[in-house]
């Protein structure tokens, strides 16, 4: 029987070794070796039994080997490998340790068979990932990282509360299908929704990811939201509310992305858009829809990682990331330009690129199940993502107005990582059967039907023509310096203003109370002084007659009380 280790353990122990190794070269080698060793261990997990420990009266399953977990396990090892190559030049030990703890937490959550280890790894991800934001060491990154950490911890608290209530109600800590309907499952659903960037709780992603380091953003784009997608697919498949939540996620980011100047923020909005397709598929809950959701998660990590890498390379080489400050970089960064275009074609679902073979499964399932309005909105969202991620990102970074910036290609390790990701995008798009063979259910879907190919090419063609016409006619929104208002304005601006006013009001009330208390204390002291001071009634020396009189008065009072 094949033996294996928990995948998380390899990365967590590796992070500890990275923290201890004094040599930068040794750390470099270890960051590449760990995902490879983890991959070998993963095949052993696929062929072997699970891994469990006993805690008090519960048997906790740390490794559950099934097709869904195995697919995400493969994905996260690929993502860690590509991101490690991209970050090979980074000497910051803080980032390296945080990245591998983060990857270990994601793998631990994916393979957790019980709610208790899921919560533990959920929090490991939260604490480790914030280091990739703080590692940029700027005031904006520090503030964004703190807000990010608060949101992630709140998500963990919801998960913990839901898990404890669920265990109390059912006597089981198993993490499987839960479904909505109880307080416990609602709390867990909220926890997953926060990390999945549901509408109205999505702004942490837009706020924090663009403030991370050029390499840190690549790691961040791979794990947190995809773990949440996995958890939804595990616990809430077929939950109809997810169909409408996911549809909203595909649509609203388009309007923000079109007017956003920071190109990494554009990709952050695009990430929410793509997660929306996955959430819709999970909500529909059929075999085709679930296959589409998880396959699109697989592809999204790779092509979104490629786009994040290309923008990270631009930021690394130029120090700029706003579309209004870039342009003309194709002259000195032709390789990066070409690789970015591959990522743009993949996210836009061009035929022969990876997004084409997965996104269409979700849309086909929506049509098959009669969700025609949802299907139309998904079609609109597909055109929108081509507009803002497929065209806007490469156009304004590399082809728009000549910014006058003359730089060179990024380091070789960055180009290698981007090239591998681009090769995967093309390979999966051209030979989808390999990815389909890893999906949870048997796939009978044929992506390269004539009608599907023609319809998608038409959609992309008309979207491109619309962009060209708007741009040439001067009607397209120019890239301007500015700050777009999102939901986080409610707590970062309005909430802060209200809290400031409340604090001022509390200070005024406190000052008034202190003044009243001081006035009362002075009155009391004056009264005591009048009666107990040197000339006060109770402080004066009394004559014997007066003393006898008061004794008789007190004695009479006591007798009256006694007889009554």
Q: What is the pLDDT of residue 50?
A: 64
Tens-place pLDDT, residues 351-406: 999 999 999 999 999 999 999 999 999 999 988 888 888 888 999 899 887 878 88
Only one residue has tokens 């969700």, namely: 371
Q: What is the pLDDT of residue 95?
A: 92
The span from the CA of 7 to the CA of 108, in Å, is: 7
Q: What would the two tokens of residue 323 be?
A: 């579309």
Q: What would the two tokens of residue 493 be?
A: 């601006």
pTM over 0.85: yes
The span from the CA of 222 to the CA of 540, in Å, is: 86
Show Cβ contacts of residue 170 under 8 Å, excluding neighbours closer than 6 positions: none
Pick from 317, 390, 105, 384: which is nearest to 219 by CA? 105
Q: What is the pLDDT of residue 1?
A: 39
Return the H-helix or E-strand segment holding 62: strand 58-63
Q: Is the CB of residue 190 less than 8 Å from the CB of residue 236?
A: no
Q: What is the pLDDT along the chain (564 residues), one digit of tens a residue?
A: 345 688 999 999 999 999 998 888 999 999 999 999 998 888 877 655 567 777 666 677 888 878 999 999 999 999 999 999 999 999 889 899 999 999 999 999 999 989 999 999 999 999 999 999 999 999 999 999 999 999 999 999 999 999 999 999 998 888 999 989 899 999 999 999 999 999 999 999 999 999 999 999 999 999 999 999 999 999 999 999 999 999 999 999 998 888 888 999 999 999 999 999 999 999 999 999 999 999 999 999 999 999 999 999 999 999 999 888 888 899 999 999 999 999 999 999 899 999 999 999 999 999 999 999 999 999 999 888 888 888 889 998 998 878 788 889 999 999 999 999 999 999 999 999 999 999 999 988 889 988 888 888 888 888 888 777 777 776 666 655 666 777 777 777 777 788 888 888 888 898 889 888 888 888 888 777 776 666 666 666 666 776 777 788 888 888 888 776
Q: Is the CB of residue 294 less than 8 Å from the CB of residue 439?
A: yes
Pick from 27, 36, 146: which is nearest to 93 by CA? 27
Length of the chain: 564
3-state SS, 131-176, equals HHHHCCCCHHHHHHHHHHHHHHHHHHHHHHHHHHHHHHHHCCCECC
Return the H-helix or E-strand segment holding 551: helix 544-563
Q: Is the CB of residue 420 less than 8 Å from the CB of residue 347?
A: no
Look at residue 337 and give its three-state secondary structure: helix
Q: What would the two tokens of residue 425 be?
A: 């995008």
The span from the CA of 546 to the CA of 166, in Å, is: 78
Show Cβ contacts of residue 215 under 8 Å, excluding neighbours closer than 6 positions: 83, 86, 87, 90, 95, 132, 312
Only one residue has tokens 């702004």, namely: 203
Q: What would the two tokens of residue 317 be?
A: 């080489």
């Amino acid at each position: 029987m094949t033996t294996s280790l928990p995948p998380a353990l390899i990365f967590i122990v590796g992070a500890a070794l990275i923290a201890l190794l004094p040599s930068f070269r040794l750390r470099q080698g270890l960051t590449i070796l760990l995902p490879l060793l983890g991959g070998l261990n993963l095949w052993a997990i696929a062929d072997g039994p699970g891994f469990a420990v006993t805690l008090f009266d519960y048997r906790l399953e740390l490794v559950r080997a099934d097709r869904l977990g195995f697919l995400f396990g493969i994905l996260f090892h690929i993502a860690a490998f590509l991101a490690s190559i991209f970050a090979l030049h980074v000497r910051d030990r803080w980032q390296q340790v945080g990245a591998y703890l983060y990857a270990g937490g994601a793998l631990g959550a994916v393979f957790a068979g019980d709610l208790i280890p899921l919560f533990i790894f959920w929090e490991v991800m939260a604490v480790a990932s914030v280091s990739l934001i703080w590692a940029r060491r700027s005031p904006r990154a520090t503030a964004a990282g703190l807000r990010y950490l608060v949101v992630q911890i709140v998500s963990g608290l919801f998960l913990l509360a839901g898990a404890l209530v669920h265990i109390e109600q059912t006597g089981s800590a198993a993490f499987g299908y839960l479904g909505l309907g109880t307080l416990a499952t609602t709390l867990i659903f909220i926890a997953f929704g926060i990390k999945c960037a549901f509408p109205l709780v999505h702004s942490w992603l837009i706020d924090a990811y663009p403030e991370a380091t050029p390499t840190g953003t690549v790691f961040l784009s791979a794990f947190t939201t995809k773990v949440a997608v996995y958890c939804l697919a595990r616990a809430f498949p077929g939950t109809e509310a997810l169909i409408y939540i996911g549809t909203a996620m595909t649509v609203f980011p388009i309007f923000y992305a079109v007017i956003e100047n920071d190109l990494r923020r554009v990709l952050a909005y695009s990430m929410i858009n793509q997660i929306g397709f996955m959430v819709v598929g999970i909500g529909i809950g059929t075999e085709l829809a679930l296959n589409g959701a998880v396959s699109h998660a697989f592809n999204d990590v790779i092509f979104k990682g490629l786009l994040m890498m290309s923008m990270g390379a631009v930021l690394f080489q130029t120090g700029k990331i706003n579309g209004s400050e870039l342009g003309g970089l194709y002259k000195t960064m032709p390789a990066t330009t070409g690789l970015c275009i591959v990522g743009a074609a993949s996210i836009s679902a061009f035929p022969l690129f990876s997004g084409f073979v997965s996104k269409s499964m979700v849309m086909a399932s929506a049509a098959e199940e009669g969700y025609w309005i949802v299907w139309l909105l998904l079609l609109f969202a597909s055109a929108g993502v081509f507009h803002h991620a497929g065209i806007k990102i490469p156009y304004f970074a590399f082809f728009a107005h000549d910014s006058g910036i003359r730089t060179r290609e990024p380091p070789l390790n960055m180009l290698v990582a981007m090239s591998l990701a681009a090769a995967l995008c093309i390979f999966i798009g051209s030979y989808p059967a390999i990815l389909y063979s890893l999906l949870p259910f048997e796939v009978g879907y044929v992506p390269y039907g004539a009608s599907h190919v023609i319809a998608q090419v038409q959609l992309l063609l008309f979207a491109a023509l619309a962009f060209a016409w708007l741009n040439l006619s001067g009607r397209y929104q120019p890239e301007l310096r500015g700050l777009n208002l999102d939901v986080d304005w409610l707590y970062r601006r309005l909430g802060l203003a209200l809290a400031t006013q409340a604090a001022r009001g509390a200070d005024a009330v406190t000052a008034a109370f202190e003044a009243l208390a001081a006035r009362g204390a002075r009155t009391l002291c004056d009264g005591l002084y009048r009666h107990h001071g040197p000339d006060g009634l109770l402080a004066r020396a009394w004559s014997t007659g007066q003393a006898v009189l008061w004794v008789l008065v007190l004695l009479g009072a006591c007798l009256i009380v006694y007889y009554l």
